[in-house]
Every structure is written in structure tokens, then in C-alpha cells.
Chains A and B, each alone.
Chain A
Amino acid sequence: MVAETQKNLEKVFEKQRKFCKVNEIVEKYKYQKQNLIAILQEVQGEYRYLPEEIMTYIATIMSISPASVYGVATFYSQFSLDPKGKYEVKVCDGTACHVRGSMPVYKAIKEKLKLKDGKFTTEDLQFSVETVRCLGACALAPVVVINNKVYSKVTPEAVKIILDKLLERSGEGDKAND
């Protein structure tokens, strides 16, 4: 086989290995339409976003139209159609957090990560930032959650320190992986 095609084939197989995982998930939910949201949630857990080809694949094996899957995926704010960062920063902008100053915190984060308007994920796919509605810790407002860890009573200054620590750590992590 030509090296080039060998490579192409490898790519296909890599994709197929991915699909195998999707197969397992859909199988677990018995191909039922009513489990579509749960399926997409698990798939997103696996890939950190919903790749188009995987949505089409899910639609095909579940016998629903790709358009319906896409419709569901774009309805719920939890789903992302673009790759998300390694650290998912969620700034609560529920009422309690809002009146206690969540927006300055949000601005500080975007500034710190140099995310200009319209962009929510850093170029290096390390961080994505979004606002969410109430995380159920209103008494500790404003609240920021980073990969499921809750930070309470966050100030713009404090959040910069938190991010610095993560940046440091993720730098190390990358080195360790090399």
C-alpha cells in the first residue's frame, strides 16, 4: 500500500474507533428517540463537543433525520458544536450572582484569556468560557465553576489568580505529556 493511502486508512480507522464508542452509547440507550438528549450528553462527554459526522451517524443508526438531531443539539445550551477547551469556565449569571457582580468577573476572565468578543474558546483549546444560569449556590454569589469545581464569592482579582494557577498547571501537564 502506498504510504499516503495507508495514512488515509489509518485516519478512517481512527474515526471508526470513535464511532465504536458512539455505537456503544446508542446501544446502551436502546436506540430510543426519547434518549436522544442523554445520548448527545454522553457523546459530548466523550468528545467535549458534538462533531457533525457523529450527529449524522447517530441520526442514521437511530433512524431519525439528521435535521432533527441538529435541531435538538442547537436547542439546549449545554451542547456545543465547536470543540471546547480543556478547562470549561462557567460564570454564573443567575439573578443572585448578577446583582452581586458576576459581570465584572466575566469580563475579567475574558480579558485575562484574551478572548475578544464573539470568541469563547482560547486558540490553544485550553479554556472555554461561558455564562450559565444559576448553579444552585446563590448564597455564595458570585459563583464560577471550572471543570465542576465550584469557586465561591469570586472577585475579578480572585479569578485572575485562579486562572493563573490553572495556566501554570496546564503548562506543566503539557510538559509531562511530551
Chain B
Amino acid sequence: MNANIMENKIEQKLIVDGKEVSFSNEKNLLEVIRKAGIEVPTFCYRPDLSTYGACRMCVVEIEGMGIQTSCTVKPQAGMKVQVNTEKTRKIRKMTVELLLASHNRDCTICAKSENCDLQDLAKKLGVRDVRFPSKEKHLPIDDKNPSIVRDPSKCILCGACVRACKEIQGTGCLSFVNRGSEATVMPAYGKGLDEVDCTYCGQCTAVCPTGALRIKSDIDRVWEQILDPKKKVVVQIAPAVRIAAGETFGLPYGENTLGLITAALRKIGFDSIFDTCFTADLTIMEEASEFIERFKKGENLPLFTSCCPAWVRFLEQRYPSFLKNLSTCKSPQQMFGSVAKKVLIEEFNLNKPADQQIKKEDIVIVSIMPCTAKKAECNKEEFKTDDTKDVDFVLTTQEMIRMINEAGVDFKHIEPEHLDSPFGIFSGAGVIFGSSGGVAEAALRTAYETITGRKIEKVAITEARGLHTVKELSIKIDEHEVKVAIVNTLSEASALLERIKNGEAHYHMVEVMACPGGCLGGAGQPPSYKDREIKERRMKGLYDADVHNPIHKSHDNPEIIRLYQKWLEKPNSHIAHELLHTHYKNRKRIFGEIINLSSVEKGAKVTDVQVCVGTNCYAKGSYGIIEALTKLIKENNLENNVNIRATFCMEHCSEGPSVVIDGELILKATLDKIEGVFKDKILSKYQK
């Protein structure tokens, strides 16, 4: 084993286009060639995903091995490789020509134009003519969800999205379907992404080389708001945006461009510019106190963070039994929305004459997020007050950049500007939210000081940092040992959930971020899959921002303190709960709807009985139970008091049949047992 590692480290040499190139532990020839500065085109290779070898763009000629795809070949010492030969050029050019034939070539109006790999390669390879007939019929566009547009007419079947969804998120929502020239990539049964277990994390869009999977754009709708003089358009900037936006304009990876962004947004015409880091601090206040409470009671632990909407949706859809572990805190974006629409309006209107007061319907909250899932989050029913959304529009970092370009702002050369107040003051703890581990670190800083009443010795909890998908740490708070797990990517999260479920892992707090590296690797950011270093630099940018911030803990943020004093009383107060907390729903996709077996209207006096008729419970006799209950109800003349419904799988199959009476779950319901339960729970209620 050791010898092996040693061997891998040894520098070896091979020859590319006549030049000697050294390599050590690159996983394939492609990486070696690229490292030598020779460009090899690719469509399907993604360094962080499994190798697929389908697009054939990376072909090279190797002496003795003939034509091989360099992404699938292991480098070997002494290999003689040629990248551009007559044959490899022919393959590449014809392959692109073939792709274009079945492609919907409307580049001029395509959202991916400019950064499309296909367009780029067609240009580079000099494909000027498509000699094959165009495909006549394309499958329809799927855009029925708030985050992602899937356009099969632009798909080149590189499989990157299939791999991303499966390998990064473990959701496997996308798959290859059919075969040969009929092959397509789509969700099960060709359904829309809104009808399957998609989390809207957008990682599939992040790796798609063409416009086949793209982020749904809200730019036009935001422009409308900005140009409407009646509207006061308030914008919040998420932590991870500031360290990624600059890349597109040629600034170094990871450079913090908050000032430039603020200036640019102001030029565009946003009325007030705030920072989501502020509500990140608020989140920490709430979440830390929620944690302390649960920790003291030993209840619903581990506490799961809830600021990543893709993770929340994942849990709602796949692991509803863990929903009780989720922190009830809204995400920082949503906290911003609800606080802004309540508090901010009042603060704006303070001391203003009636005719200058802003009406609630005229305030528009826009978020700039690294995230596609946030677009879906702001549309959730739970985040509406009186039928209006707390956050009205979400733009991704990429969309913001496009708006800046559309507005003709010269990003690189404008003068940086300051955020507006009051929600423009934030702590370093709020900024590191943008990185995997940041939420946990921020929460621990506050929890530590709240519990112990002492200052934490070391603000930086370095064990929580880094790009690894799983991190574990334990921290001593007084006599308690607090165990924390930090994971990014949902496939890692499911593995962790399984371990927790099986009793193999025990934690008090678990932070989950769906995107690799956390929000800094969000799908709304400029692409970062090509080079691992990009994410590393962004991460550094965030932690540097913490270092340069005079405030390191959320509870030290003066604006936060003022907010509580003036409006929210204290963390977890009644008003805080109303504004800052939420609840979750089981969204498991089960087959079949609830069937009402009686026609009683819902009401305070009505007892609600649900009997599971899922396969397992059915097999174990739930039908008999329904019969027995119906009979009992009839005999006791309770037909107008009890509402019986047949439901599907309650996820206690092994202990079925499952029955729920007024929210209380009864397992292993036998006929005898149910008679007793009927007497105790139902009959007694009405006999008084």
C-alpha cells in the first residue's frame, strides 16, 4: 500500500506532440495533456464526476494503442501521444457536425450563447456547414418549475447532468431513456422536474455544456419592477455572490467584490441595497437558541440546519421522518423577506408624511443568490404572508452579471460603494455562511458564548473548513461535548442519514449544504467545475472577509441587537417565531391520493381517522380494520362525527397496519387493539 503511494508520487514522463511531459498522479491522460498547456476539447468530461467517455472529442492517437479517448486512458510512462492528427481532427469535426444536425441551432436567441461549449467548439473546429438534414421534431421544453428550464432540443447527451444529479445529489432525477438515435435524457416517464424528486439545486445546469439545462431567468421581471417608478425595489446580496461575481469580469478568483456589486446594482436602479449576511446573523441568533434548547432537553437531535432549500426539499421528499430534526428557522433569504416586509417598511415610513409612505404592495424584495433552489424556495406556500411572497424575485449571480452587462455598467472600473442601512451591517459569521461549514461555525461561536457566558478562545473553528464532503468535529462547551457533522452534497447527506438511522452515527448538530463546497459552488454562480482551485479560492475569499470584519459573532452585530430590542424581543420569542420560523411538509411522492371513506366535513368536533392501505399494511390486514371501524362507527351512531380516510404508506411498513387517530399514530393495529382504541379515543369523546 505504502509502496503504491510512493510509486504514484514518482514523476514520470510521456511524450505529447513530440514534447516531453511529466506526470505523477493525474487520473487520466487528458489531465496530463492539459497540464502541459495543450488544449484538448471535451464535452462529457467533468473532473469531479465519474468518467463517461461518450463525446469522443478528447481523442488522441497513442502509439501502439491507436485512437483512444484521453479522458479514459491512464497515463503510462513512455507513452507517445499525438493530439492533433488528421484522424483526430476528422473525428472531432465530423462529430460536431453530426451533433449540430440534430441540434436546435437557434444560437442567436439561446440563453447559453457566449458560454456554450458546443457553439465554441463548432467555431474552433471551423464547422461552417452541416451537410445532414436537421432533426424535424424536438421534444417539448419543460419549464413548469421556478428554477430550471430543460430543453431537450439542445441536449447532446453528454450525461454530465445525469452523473451530477446521481453522484453529487444522490437524487437520480435524470436518466438516459430509450436508446440509439431515440436516446434522450429526462426525468422518469418524461415528467416535468416539478413532478419528480428534484431539489432544484441546479447542479445539473452547472455542468451542462449547452443550453439544454439552464437556469430559469427572472431578469425581465426584475427590470419591470425597477423601471416601475411606484415600486421600491430592495435587493439583498447573499454571502457567496461577492467572491464569485468578479471572475466573469476578469478579476482574480475569490476576490471580494461587494463594493463593486453594490455600486453596480445601484447604477442598475435598485432602490436599497442590503446584505443577506445580516439575516444570516439573525438566523444564527434563532438557530443557536433553538439548538441550546434542544440540546438541554435532549430533544430532536441532531439539529439539522435549514438554510439550504435544496436540502430541505430533499428531506421533505425523501426522508420525511427526519423533518422533526430540521431547524424551524427560515433561511436567511426568507428571514430577510419577512423582516423587510414587516420591519423595514415601518422603518422606512418612520416620520414620513402619509403621501410619502410606502405601501406594502409597492415594496419588492429581490435576492441575488448563488442558488437556483432559492428561486423555488421563495415560491413556497409557507413563505407567503397574506398571499404575497416574502421574497418576490431571486436572481442568480449569473443573472446579476447579465443585468450588469445589459445595463452597460463597466464593472471592473466603477467605484466601490457602501451598502445601505440598517440591514447592511453584518458580522464575519454571517459571511462564512457561503461556505460549507460556515453555518455550523457561526452557530457554534454564538452557542458557545451563550451557554458559557465566556468569550470563545479561538474564533476560527478550522475543523469545520475545507472542501471535503464530510467533516466532523467535536467541541467542548463547559462540561458538554458537542458533536457536529458538516456535509456538502446530498449524496453525502443521505449516507449520513442512513448512518444516523442505523444508529451508527451520533451527532448534536448537522450542517448540510447541497452544493459541492457549499453555496460558493452553487449552481447560480459562474461555472466552477473545470478547476478545483476555483472553489478553493472562493472559500478563502469568504474566510478572509471574516478576518477583515471587526465583528466575528452574530450576537455582537449591533444592528441585530437593535432589531431584537426594537422589534423581536428575544430569540425564539413569539414574534420571532411568527416572522422567522417555518414548518415542513412530508412531500414524499406516493402513489395514490387520500380517499375519503365518509362524507363528514372537517370541523373541531370531528375525529379524523386515517388507515393506511399501502401495500404492506394492506397485506397485514388494514382492510379488516376499516371494516371494523366502519361498523363500530355505525353501531354507535357516530357517522357524523368521525371522518375515516384511507391513506397510503405512512412509512412504518414493518410495524403496520398503521392507523392515525387525530394525529396520533397507532402501529401494529389488530382488530382487538382497534376496538379498544375506538372506545378510549373516540367513543369517550362523544359520550360525555
Contacts and interface: CB of A to CB of B under 8 A. Distances in A.
Interface of A: 1-2, 5, 8-9, 12-13, 15-17, 19-20, 22-23, 52-53, 55-57, 59, 64-71, 74-75
B478 to A, nearest CB: 41
A16 B623 CA distance: 11
B196 A67 contact: yes
Contacts of A55: 188-189
B591 interface: yes
Given A1-B597, A70-B188, A75-B179, A12 B646 contact: yes
Nearest to B617: A16
Interface string B580-618: 000000000101100111110000000000000111101
B597 A71 contact: no
B196 A66 contact: yes
A55 B188 CA distance: 10
A19 B618 CA distance: 10
A68 B189 contact: no
Given A16-B613, A70-B188, A2 B599 contact: yes
A74 B173 CA distance: 16
Given A9-B646, A20-B615, A65-B172, A75 B623 contact: no
Interface residues of B, number: 34
Interface of B: 166, 171-179, 186-189, 196-197, 589, 591-592, 595-599, 613-616, 618-619, 623, 626, 630, 646
The interface centre, meaning the residue of A2, A20, A23, A71 with most chain B CB atoms within 10 A of its CB, is: A71
Nearest to B498: A63
B491 to A, nearest CB: 12
A163 B409 CA distance: 75
Contacts of A75: 176, 178-179
A43 to B, nearest CB: 14
Contacts of B618: 13, 16-17, 19-20
B591 A68 contact: no
A68 B171 CA distance: 10
A72 B521 CA distance: 32
Nearest to B174: A67
Nearest to B644: A1
Contacts of B188: 55-56, 59, 65-67, 69-70
Chain B contact residues, majority secondary structure: mixed
Contacts of A70: 175, 177, 188-189
Contact of B595 (A8, A17, A20, A59): A8
B179 A65 contact: no
A65 B171 contact: yes
A15 B597 CA distance: 17
A19 B187 CA distance: 23
A108 to B, nearest CB: 27
Given A65-B188, A67-B196, A5 B172 contact: no
Nearest to B626: A9
B196 A1 contact: no
Contact of B175 (A16, A22, A67): A67
B597 A5 contact: yes
Contacts of A23: 615-616, 619
A146 B613 CA distance: 39
B160 to A, nearest CB: 15
Given A2-B599, A65-B188, 13 more contacts: A1-B630, A2-B598, A5-B597, A9-B597, A9-B613, A9-B646, A19-B618, A22-B615, A55-B189, A56-B589, A67-B196, A70-B189, A74-B179
Contacts, number: 84
A57 B173 CA distance: 15
Contacts of A71: 175-177
A71 B616 CA distance: 27
Nearest to A61: B615
A12 B599 CA distance: 18
A19 B597 contact: no
A17 B619 CA distance: 8
A68 B178 CA distance: 12
A13 B613 contact: yes
B591 A1 contact: no
Contacts of A59: 188
Contacts of A16: 613-615, 618-619
Contacts of A67: 172-175, 186-188, 196
A8 B591 CA distance: 14
The interface centre, meaning the residue of B174, B175, B196, B597 with most chain A CB atoms within 10 A of its CB, is: B175
Nearest to B623: A13
A67 B186 CA distance: 8
Nearest to B179: A75
A55 B589 CA distance: 13
A80 B623 CA distance: 32
B617 to A, nearest CB: 9
A112 B526 CA distance: 60
A41 B598 CA distance: 40
Contacts of B172: 64-65, 67-68
Contact of B615 (A5, A57, A74): A57
Nearest to B187: A67
Contacts of A15: 592
B166 to A, nearest CB: 8
A5 B177 contact: no
A11 to B, nearest CB: 9
B412 to A, nearest CB: 43
A167 B524 CA distance: 61
22 contacts: A1-B597, A9-B597, A9-B626, A12-B613, A13-B618, A16-B614, A16-B619, A23-B616, A23-B619, A55-B188, A56-B188, A56-B589, A64-B172, A65-B197, A66-B196, A67-B173, A67-B187, A67-B188, A68-B172, A70-B177, A74-B179, A75-B178
Contacts of A56: 188, 589, 591
B625 to A, nearest CB: 12
B619 A20 contact: yes
B79 to A, nearest CB: 35
Contacts of A2: 598-599
A30 B334 CA distance: 45
Contact of B178 (A9, A65, A69, A74): A74
Nearest to A20: B619
B399 to A, nearest CB: 28
